[in-house]
Structure 1
Amino acid sequence: MAFGVIQRRTGELPMEVTGFVGRSAELRQLEGLLERARLVTVTGPGGVGKTRTALRAAARLRSRYAHGVCLVELTGLRDPELLTHTLSTCLGLPEQDSRDQLDVLVDHLREREILLVLDTCEHLVDACAMLADILLRETRAVTLLTTSRQPLDVPGEYTCPVPPLPVRDVDGAAGTGNAGAGAGGADAGDARGGGDAVELFEQRAAAVLPGFAVTGRNRADVVKLCRRLDGIPLALELAAVRLRAVPLGQLVDRLEDRFRLLTGGRRTALPRHQTLRTAIDWSYGLCDAQERLLWARLSVFAGSFDVAAAEEVCADAELPREEILETLIHLVDKSVVLREDDEEHGTRYRLLDTLREYGAERGELGPARLRHVERYAALAADFDARFLHDGQLARAHALRRDHADVRAALEYALALPGTATTAAALAGGLWGYWLATGRMTEGRYWQTRVLERFPAPCPERVRALSVRASLATFQRDLAAADADLSAAIELGPLDDVHAARAHAHLQLSLAAQHRFAEAATVAAEAERRMRALGDRTGLCVLYGTMAYGFQLAGEPAKCLAYCRLGHRILGERSGEHWLRGYLFFVSGMAHYARGAFEQSAEDVGRALRLKHELGDPAGTGYALSGLAWLAAADERYERTAWLQGAASARWISAGSRPRLTATMERYDQHVREVARAALGEERYALLRRRGADCPLEDTVAYALDEPRAASPRAAPRPRHAPADALTRREREVAALVSQGLSNRQIAERLVISKRTVDAHLEHILAKFGASSRTEIAARLAAEGH
């Protein structure tokens, strides 16, 4: 089994980039278990291939589940309190809702037919067991496939043990590692006489030593090596890498010497975890001092990292910065570190969980963890200082990519001696990140952890209270927001930017409660403080909240005036997305209230573009709702129903029902009733479902590009992707479809399974908005392909 993967979007299954060997019996067993059970745990020792086997099964069974498959990788997660947040993120559920995240998660999954793959559960076994038990009881059709070194021990759980790969002796006797015979069967494979373990070693050895093959001359040595390593895939991969420097015969002799030393010369079976440990020890022993040191220090990263991050966190006088890259390359060559190439993020690296655990035991990591904290604290401070500046989108996406290490840095900072102030700065500096990416609940969690460290009055407490209240306000948890803001303002002698922003957040909270007179008084005080402090960011946010308050109060002229103030501070050419998106939406609603529908449509369309690019589902939902109301004003009721359905899907993806104010709720209800009366209940419901089911990219394209002069009776249709939007493999399949080949013929031509061709064809039809194979051919011909 091989372990390489490529970068992908959160929750998606990785593409296999190295060969998959054997496991036919385990895959058959998994398929059978998943037909009759809703919780299946793939068990086995570290490095045996549990993840690859589970992912291969999930990919093969994807079509069984109406809502697909979602992969939740738990390797980098250490805090069990964040398990539900991690699953929500993988499902695309930003934490907009103020309810307990587990309640949001259960509500989202209650009627969904989905396969959740929870990978690497053993270090969070209690939390995973609790979550699995709740999901099994509270949802109808959620199935869980988990991997763990031990079962979860939950009622209804079935286990599928994954043993090491079988090894067949030269004389034909089958066995697994040192265990002797009994593991052969159909999966013993032949691999030209050696079984699956030998086949895997041959594949991996050929990758590092071109031309390597198992022959009659070397088969005995390969079988001996595979048996000595118990057929454990990770151990075999680590051994294969050594062929670059050591001939096969010497490799076997050295391994024999290592095991003889450890077992006192006895050829008794070692426990398999000890076998893997020995193989890793062996690889570690073949590293030089610099490589060992870097291996240990890289273990502080919870997720993937680039060269700059490795240099910043791992370098010191003992391991100079200029030596990091060369040493990292050596670790990649030895298969200790995996390289991942991605068009969007460039080259990044990561450690397998087993090798990360090993590295963490091999050095004093306090200084490296401190540098790790300092790195992410600096990124948070930069994001805070430039939150409303150009480049916000790229900085937000970068932090989202490094989210596992943001969490790890917070954990380190809260645990290391003398770093509590840094932890407070890190958690507080991310306030805009929590908002922009919809992680309000997790942001509140970290502020609570900070408040536990700072129970007495101090600037850190003021900031944590202020940020927690701001996040609660955006979740419309107004009682909690008021309590935190009142507590922050009572510490008002600390007249800094955080206390001033607390007043701004209070103003927003009061406006949301329609306490407009109080909100105006608080806003004036907040503006006075922020002007005195020269707080540009605070003023921008304040003007946005004041505009929102006046829009709710039914004073569109004042609302528009404050929107203009906010845009003036940001600048006409600003690349900022989060606040500009809300300013355009609020001004669009003010124009709507005045009957200026053309201007309203222009502003709400701008808001939709900005919120979609940022990945803000709540903001996208607001904008789609506004466009639905505008469609109703034009008496385009089919478009109205379709857009209302699309907006409802965004609210569901945000983890909550629409969090509209009373005023906006009245608009929405009125529009819904008018459209339903015009279309009839059945037609309205059908169009609403179509809007909800449409992919997000197509939804946004339709919402923005549909001409306003179009007939109101025309059924809304999304703009479909051009042929260039297909993946390379999809283009190959589409071309062969246009030649008239059947799915089976295409599978044979491309040397892939028919099921894979079926899946590709479904994706092509969806992207083209086509219903038949002939439409695919016509589309390719029309676009000159």
Structure 2
Amino acid sequence: MLAEDPDISIAEVHRTIGWDRSRNTLAKLVHRIRAEVPNQLGEVDPLPHYGSSIPTFSTGFIGRDEELFALRRLLGTERLVTITGPGGIGKTRLAVQAANDFRRAFADGVRFVELASLNTAGLLAQAVLDGLGIIEPDRPGHPVEDILVHHLRHKQMLIILDNCEHIVDSCADLAAHLLRNTTQVSIVATSRERLAIPAEHVFTLPPLSTTRNNDPTSIGAALELFESRAAAVLADFALTESNRDTVRRICMQLDGIPLSIELACARLSVLSVRDLEERLDRRLELLTTGNRSGPERHRSLQATVDWSYELCTSTQQKLWARLSVFADEFDLPMAEQVCSDDELPAELILDGISSLVGKSLLQREQRGERARFRMLETIREYGAAKLGATEAVALQLRHLESCSTLVRSSVESWGSSGQQRAGELLRSNRANLRKALQTALSAPSNEMLATATELVSTAWFLWSSGFSVREHRMWLMHIAEIDTAPTARRGRLLATLGLVQTMQGDRSAASDVLDESIHLASACADNATIAFATQTKGLKEYLGGDFESAEPLFQDALTRYEELPENTDLLWALHIEMGMFYCSMLDPTRALEHFEFVRVHSERAGEQWMLSYAIYGLGLAALADERYDEALRRAIESLTLKKEFDDVVGTSLVTDLLSWAEAAAGSKERSAVLLGAASQMWDSFGMQLYGSRHWVERRAQFEATARAGLGDERFAQCRRRGAAMSIPEMVRFALEEEAPGVPEADEFADTALLSPRELEVARLVADGLTNKEIAARMVVSPRTVEGHVVRILRKLGMTRRHQVATALRPRGIR
């Protein structure tokens, strides 16, 4: 066997001959025989020396358990995995941990080859040979790559090539050569840029999370790392209720990048946690002290990003700087519109973005059918610093115009089948819209103010997909305070502001605003704004209980819209409002005419949002006619449509209807839960049911029905359950997409608020166990238990652990 293949591995010999004695004995025997067998290169093959090349760290490994598990699974099927991500994200640390954890999976071991210090690509194969610890005499005429293959052909080994980005082409060539000419060698490469060869599987390493399982109160890996590294600087440092939120904000500002967190913690020798947070707006200057034993490029955050910048071409550097103008996500068309000019033509943007993604300077994310990109804040800050003052101003103006174009496009698409796409773009660009408006308000020129005014007022529905109701009102009021010229654009701005104020129940403020809007629009002969403001005045009077004044205003607006065929969306909104009005007037026939008008036209156009209101209206009319099953069906249908939008106003309205229909149909518990959820949503943006006494009294009738069927205590219990739900949880509950979760009547009331995991922890607390004891029993960290206990106390309205025991034990909850 050895005569035919002198380089066969010990592991392969072991498997082939079925050796059942000491492996060390076999190794000695094989080495002795090899010394006597000429190799295929015609010389005596010296004894290969594979040293333990895996580096060690003095600090613990934190927060990458899921990534390690995924990497282990990948190496079961893939022979080349490239761990990519920006500088400081933890690629090397993960690779080192993988090397230590995966040793036993590779019969011939794991070897770690560090390449950051290698500046000559032509020496790569020799560097790998040296890194593997192979002592090989010089063999003229034999390429080093072939010598590597000779030694590795039959090895079952994992080779880790660390820091490939500065010689990425050579690394790609060598990896491809090794994979073609060996059968059991696997390679893990770490690089800010992928190798881009067919056999490669790219494993993108995400930032550390500040939470676990999307629970905003939990302690994520980023916080755990901060605590660990801070304790190395301040021996008595620990996460507490008083500093946890501050630490979370710091980790979020640092993008969850482990290196940034470690460098920040080094500053705690002179700064408090609060001081550190306040200084992070200058993070590249602040984070300059770190581990002197680490690589030079990791001793400051500036050096880490400098390393990436120097690896970019001048075109890539320019694009990096210009893309920093985006506040968060952006897509290719936006990048082409904002970043291109004579110096950087639009046709170069696609390749430039592709290169920056490949170098881990941009993160690619899928949003619906379109790819979007974003920069980590540290990368963005660095790029922004490379912009000259004149260039920065020009980019900001183009960014503002791009956002305005986006909003205009959404207005044009709103009454059609393109509505959901428009809504998705508004949601995805929320941060960009905010930045554009801040730009316009920080240095307002007449042109910028006009653009900003159009952005927040033309899309009168912005609160349903772009901003919240409160935020939409804030921007409208800020701009109204600055843009005071008596123009048509101010008239439109005030009409939109009046609508938002009316929905919030602030009718007094809306009254003056709408009067001024009509005055300005009349002076400018702006019939569309007159119709809009008149319609909103009718809505304001209706919700205020003045039905007599509301009806002629509605009719006036309807007449005006019939002469303005381009205002389809507002015409449909008016029909919905008139349908609700006639329901309140106990005229279901006329109400149904208005609701059916919108249903037919919106379905024909492929529109979804106004259709959801039309379906709601049909359910409202069915409820008034005591057709409860139809009312339930219509409410559920409407709520299903609203899942595609951020329409808290409409979702609150439909949830109330569903609650009323459940009460009337006999489902008292579901009614109470939904009522609690609806009330919580109304409070989040304004007054209950638009602040309308008529609507509040109507709700009270159904609330009384549910309360009478359940009793006060049970009703309150179910109502609290609904109030504690998030909107997605409420929607899933309403649509019965998950177990209802309504507690049994004999169960202690507030335990309905607890998740199964929290209830498990609560039982152990009731048994008198400490957090440490609970952690040991549940096989989790004490900090995880602490987070559960904090949430349990908050949900149950308690302040002490012993209250949990007192509450659970009398009810026998075990």
TM range (shorter): 0.5 to 0.7
The 8 Å contact of residues 637 and 712 in structure 1, kept in 2 or not, is answered as no
Check 1:655–1:19 CA distance in 2 against 1; reply closer, same or farther (3 A cut).
Answer: closer
Amino acid across the alignment from 1:630: A
Aligned to 1:558: 590
Amino acid across the alignment from 1:427: V
Shift of 1:24: 2.3
Note the alpha carbon deviations across 1:95-134, whole angstroms, 9 max, x for none.
xxxxxxxxxxxxxxxxxxxxxxxxxxxxxxxxxxxxxxxx
The 8 Å contact of residues 426 and 466 in structure 2, kept in 1 or not, is answered as no
1:236 aligns with 2:304: yes
Shift of 1:758: 11
1:150 aligns with 2:279: yes
Shift of 1:323: 0.8
The 8 Å contact of residues 47 and 232 in structure 1, kept in 2 or not, is answered as no
1:487 aligns with 2:516: yes
Aligned to 1:664: 695
In the alignment, which of 571, 580, 595 is matched to residue 548 of structure 1? Answer: 580
Shift of 1:603: 1.9
In the alignment, which of 341, 360, 370 is matched to residue 365 of structure 2? Answer: 341
Q: Single out whichever of 21-30 and 3-12 deviates more from structure 2.
A: 3-12
Paired with 1:618 and 1:55, the residues of 2 have a C-alpha distance of 41
1:392 aligns with 2:419: yes
Aligned to 1:256: none
Shift of 1:560: 1.5
In the alignment, which of 579, 585, 603 is matched to residue 571 of structure 1? Answer: 603
The 8 Å contact of residues 40 and 145 in structure 1, kept in 2 or not, is answered as no
Unaligned runs of 5+ in 2: 1-87, 91-205, 263-272, 748-773, 792-814
1:412 aligns with 2:499: no
Shift of 1:616: 2.5
Q: Single out whichever of 46-55 and 631-640 deviates more from structure 2.
A: 46-55
Shift of 1:487: 0.9
Amino acid across the alignment from 1:306: D
Aligned to 1:89: none
The 8 Å contact of residues 357 and 364 in structure 2, kept in 1 or not, is answered as no
Aligned to 1:91: none
The 8 Å contact of residues 676 and 684 in structure 1, kept in 2 or not, is answered as yes
Q: Percent identity?
A: 26
Note the alpha carbon deviations across 1:530-574, whole angstroms, 9 max, x for none.
111212222111111211222233322221111112223323573
Aligned to 1:167: 291
Check 1:331–1:652 CA distance in 2 against 1; reply closer, same or farther (3 A cut).
Answer: same
Paired with 2:410 and 2:315, the residues of 1 have a C-alpha distance of 34
Check 1:591–1:56 CA distance in 2 against 1; reply closer, same or farther (3 A cut).
Answer: farther
Note the alpha carbon deviations across 1:168-205, whole angstroms, 9 max, x for none.
5xxxxxxxxxxxxxxxxxxxxxxxxx3xxx2xxxxxxx
Aligned to 2:613: 582
**Secondary structure, in 3 states, of the residue corresponding to 1:613?**
coil
1:625 aligns with 2:754: no
Shift of 1:478: 0.9
Shift of 1:21: 7.6
Paired with 1:479 and 1:561, the residues of 2 have a C-alpha distance of 31
Paired with 1:654 and 1:47, the residues of 2 have a C-alpha distance of 26
1:528 aligns with 2:559: yes
Aligned to 1:373: 400
Aligned to 1:305: 330
In the alignment, which of 482, 485, 492 is matched to residue 463 of structure 1? Answer: 492
The 8 Å contact of residues 40 and 146 in structure 1, kept in 2 or not, is answered as no
**Secondary structure, in 3 states, of the residue corresponding to 1:595?**
coil
Check 1:38–1:54 CA distance in 2 against 1; reply closer, same or farther (3 A cut).
Answer: farther
1:651 aligns with 2:738: no
Task: Answer with 1 or 2: which has the greater Rg.
Answer: 2
**RCO comparison, higher one (Cα < 8 Å, 6+):** 1
Check 1:317–1:624 CA distance in 2 against 1; reply closer, same or farther (3 A cut).
Answer: same
The 8 Å contact of residues 44 and 150 in structure 1, kept in 2 or not, is answered as no
Amino acid across the alignment from 1:313: V
Aligned to 2:470: 441
Aligned to 1:739: none
The 8 Å contact of residues 431 and 443 in structure 1, kept in 2 or not, is answered as no
Note the alpha carbon deviations across 1:285-311, whole angstroms, 9 max, x for none.
x65442343233222212222222211
Aligned to 1:424: 453
In the alignment, which of 230, 242, 245 is matched to residue 37 of structure 1? Answer: 242
Amino acid across the alignment from 1:235: A
Amino acid across the alignment from 1:542: L
In the alignment, which of 298, 314, 320 is matched to residue 295 of structure 1? Answer: 320
Cα RMSD, aligned residues only: 4.7
Shift of 1:164: 5.1
Shift of 1:623: 2.0
Q: Single out whichever of 312-321 and 302-311 deviates more from structure 2.
A: 302-311
Aligned to 1:63: none
Shift of 1:315: 0.8
1:26 aligns with 2:225: no
Q: Single out whichever of 603-612 and 19-28 deviates more from structure 2.
A: 19-28
Shift of 1:521: 1.7
Aligned to 2:89: 2
The 8 Å contact of residues 436 and 614 in structure 1, kept in 2 or not, is answered as yes
Check 1:551–1:30 CA distance in 2 against 1; reply closer, same or farther (3 A cut).
Answer: farther
Paired with 1:44 and 1:714, the residues of 2 have a C-alpha distance of 41
The number of residues matched between the two structures is 539
Aligned to 1:125: none
Note the alpha carbon deviations across 1:734-771, whole angstroms, 9 max, x for none.
xxxxxxxx998997xxxx979779999x99xxxxxxxx
**Equivalence map 1:52-91=2 (5 Å):** 52=257
Paired with 1:436 and 1:429, the residues of 2 have a C-alpha distance of 14
Paired with 1:543 and 1:655, the residues of 2 have a C-alpha distance of 23
Aligned to 1:734: none
The TM-score normalised by the length of structure 1 is 0.59
**Secondary structure, in 3 states, of the residue corresponding to 1:673?**
helix
Check 1:27–1:400 CA distance in 2 against 1; reply closer, same or farther (3 A cut).
Answer: farther
Amino acid across the alignment from 2:542: A
Note the alpha carbon deviations across 1:405-457, whole angstroms, 9 max, x for none.
11222233443643332222222223211244562332233333433454332
The TM-score normalised by the length of structure 2 is 0.57
Q: Single out whichever of 504-513 and 47-56 deviates more from structure 2.
A: 47-56
Paired with 1:288 and 1:624, the residues of 2 have a C-alpha distance of 55
Paired with 1:11 and 1:363, the residues of 2 have a C-alpha distance of 43
Q: Single out whichever of 354-363 and 42-51 deviates more from structure 2.
A: 42-51
Amino acid across the alignment from 1:236: T
Paired with 1:352 and 1:458, the residues of 2 have a C-alpha distance of 39
Note the alpha carbon deviations across 1:37-89, whole angstroms, 9 max, x for none.
358756999999596579989xxxxxxxxxxxxxxxxxxxxxxxxxxxxxxxx
The 8 Å contact of residues 674 and 722 in structure 2, kept in 1 or not, is answered as yes
**Secondary structure, in 3 states, of the residue corresponding to 1:419?**
helix
Paired with 1:465 and 1:527, the residues of 2 have a C-alpha distance of 20
Check 1:451–1:683 CA distance in 2 against 1; reply closer, same or farther (3 A cut).
Answer: closer
Paired with 1:302 and 1:51, the residues of 2 have a C-alpha distance of 18
The 8 Å contact of residues 510 and 516 in structure 1, kept in 2 or not, is answered as yes
1:606 aligns with 2:606: no
